[in-house]
Amino acid sequence: MHQLLLNRHIYDEVMQKHLPEAKRFVWIVTADIKDLHLDAGHGFEPLLGVLSRLIERGVGVRLIHAKEPGPRFRAHFDDYPALLNSDLFERILCPRVHTKAIVIDGKGAFVGSANLTGAGLGAKHQHSRNFEAGFWFDEPRQLAELMAWIDSLYLGDQCANCRRRAYCPDPIDEMHK
């Protein structure tokens, strides 16, 4: 199944429906990351809180992003001990990442234009959010290919030949030695 998602439907389907239902793992790849909030049914909460709860339930979270998160994201990160202390949370920075993808349990994935920001994937008002498009899909062969590619990024397989290494604050291949 391939489902086209536009604008607010990305938030509704991916962030509200699929993300909270993760059982094994969530992999997020994004160029930009900011302090986005999600509707928790009793008000809004930071994505960091959602990710922390997933980790506390035993769900692994892998976050790959291209630049340092926004200041509010950084300021609130330490409020969630599971993100600091759990081996289930993995985070790397690669300045070349421009992909926007979310893989949930290896059973479904979103690939599209939206960064991990309030304007891209958060609960912003329709007249404040970005114009975004993407696809949710669950085709096993495509999921396997996407996951292998993300895993390759995470393991730093591209680092040895990267022509942007001088701009990389923390080369991934050195982290895995």
Read off the pLDDT of residues 144-163 as tens digits, 9 standing for 90 and up: 999 999 999 999 888 888 88
Taking the C-alpha atoms of residue 33 and residue 165, their distance in angstroms, rounded to an integer, is: 21
Q: For all residues of the chain together, what is the average pLDDT?
A: 92
Taking the C-alpha atoms of residue 38 and residue 16, their distance in angstroms, rounded to an integer, is: 7
Number of neighbouring beta carbons within 10 Å of residue 29:
24
Residue 177 has a pLDDT of 59
Residue listed under structure tokens 């923390």? 170
**pLDDT(123) > 80:** no
Q: What is the pLDDT of residues 50-97, one digit of tens each?
A: 999 999 999 999 999 998 898 888 889 999 999 999 999 999 999 999
**pLDDT(165) > 90:** no
**pLDDT-based confidence at residue 176 (cuts at 50, 70, 90):** low
Alpha carbon 94 to its chain centroid, in Å, reads 13
The matching CATH number, chosen from 3.40.30.10, 2.40.50.140, 3.30.870.10, 2.140.10.10, for 2-175 is 3.30.870.10
**pLDDT(14) > 90:** yes
In the chain, what are the domain boundaries?
2-175
